[in-house]
Structure 1
Amino acid sequence: MKAIDLFAGAGGFSTGAKMAGIEVVWAANHWPLAVEYHEANHPGADHKCQDLHQADWRLLPKHDIGLASPCCQGHSPARGKDRPHHDTQRSTAWAVVSCAEYHRQDFFVVENVPFFKSWALFPSWIDAMHRLGYVASENLIDAADHGVPQNRERLYMVFSRSKAPIDLKLEKTPHTPVNSVIDWSYPKWSQVDKPGRSQATLNRIRSGRARFGRRFVAPFYGSGSGETGRSIHRPIGTITTHDRWAVVDGDRMRMLQRHEVKRIMGFPADYILPPTHKESIHLLGNAVCPPVPAAILNALVARG
């Protein structure tokens, strides 16, 4: 089977498709950096850097499955106060409808944050797909249930040209602890008790030590995981597009590094990323965790 990847980003959907034995033949994104590194990792696909509202769907190669991760920032409460540009971000989902209208793929799998369902136009968006002959199944999936050492809950809409919505019945796997991917030998650490360290950080680390011992992870920027951090013997919290999580080891600490975040997102160790930490984290934090679409696509392929 062959697939296309809309809003391809870092390539999580495409990597998941590859894991499921599906060939990605076309991928597009509006961000040149994302397209550059998607092409580096998936050279067999035809790549386009463009606003998908302007796509000429006639030019796409023949395929069976559509994959898409429309912009999520306009739906997530983390965006803060709703602003005019969030309307533009939310409208990216209509590219799925226009692509499906032309190609009538057997399946279309769409990923977004759970709050995607709260979008005022979500019922109309679903209705548009229904009018094209699709039925929809809603799947709220935590990446931690599929071998990824991260609790990352996302909505996966599976559109199919079948009589009834597809019940995926995905088998869950035991959770993987984040400790399994932390590089304790990484050479660059800083002292916890150093001049300029905020009192809030010191208090959180003190509480974390009392609860988890010498080694744990804690949100250094932003909130979450209470005031004590999080055990390294369970999946970490959600990875974002900016540095958030710190690793604490006794009297030293540091931020998660990109080679660790790559593994926490479920990408293979040899996956090519930009040379800078900031760009890598931005790409990874926006990505789909590949093992999740792999599980979904394996289930769809098994149906024949």
Structure 2
Amino acid sequence: MKLFAFIVMMAFSFFVSAQSAPKKNESLILQADTLLDRQDFAGALALYTKIIEKTKPVSADDYRVLYKRAYCYYALGDFENALGDINQFIQQVPDEQAKLMRAYINQELEDYEAQLQDLNELLANNPGNPEFLRWRASVLMESERYAEAQKDIQALLDYQPSPELKSYLGLTYYYQNKPDSAIAIFDEVIEGSPGYLPSYLYAASLSLEQEAFDLALAYISQGLSVDRDNLTLLFYKGIALVENENTDEGCKCMTKAFAGGIDDAADYLKNYCYGVD
């Protein structure tokens, strides 16, 4: 799971601070915490459930048992139950770390709006946090909210410029049907980081969609100089050559791509190279 180790570290303060629970539960809590520390999540879950069933939560420490059980559910992949427990916990203890865990749970549930709600609050309390910005940008991209994603990506670029991030910025324009802006950014990435392969793939793919086959071939040629055996670029080269009526060379490229595992080349081979409709 993404950043699982980070959550473990983050959660440690919860597990340590729960030692003031009622005496009658101290033994069970100690056993459960020991199992949790050993990553025996199923065993810890069973004991935390027993504690919750025996005791009506009253104090913040009582509710922290719910947090721990939510963590066990999360670690075991039971995200719906994890969400139920963490929501109960946050109602009583609106802790920032618990909201971060809820965001991770909602990431697994692919609930974009719920993730954004917690990420917006986390960023309000931690302005400019690069991990949160990157996460929110990815959620905004998944939600097709590209203009908002651009703002977060640009903020990240101001903090930690990289060809990967700048290429993502180009993709936001691509998905907004602004090919000229996207190509301009991909060109900047290529100029500044000529060894970064994805920029050639993005630019070539966009050029093919725009039926700018000569331009696509130029990007493909540059990309193959970085990775001469890249199967996707060979496939793209085959398409561009066939569309430019260089069928023999195009079919050779697509045959290599198909043999290497690019299944999408099959239809092109049938239609352009084997004469099968």
Normalising by structure 1, what TM-score? 0.26
Higher normalized strand content (fraction of residues): 1
Which is higher, the Rg of structure 1 or of structure 2? Answer: 2
Higher normalized helix content (fraction of residues): 2
Normalising by structure 2, what TM-score? 0.28
Greater relative CO (CA pairs within 8 A, separation 6+): 1
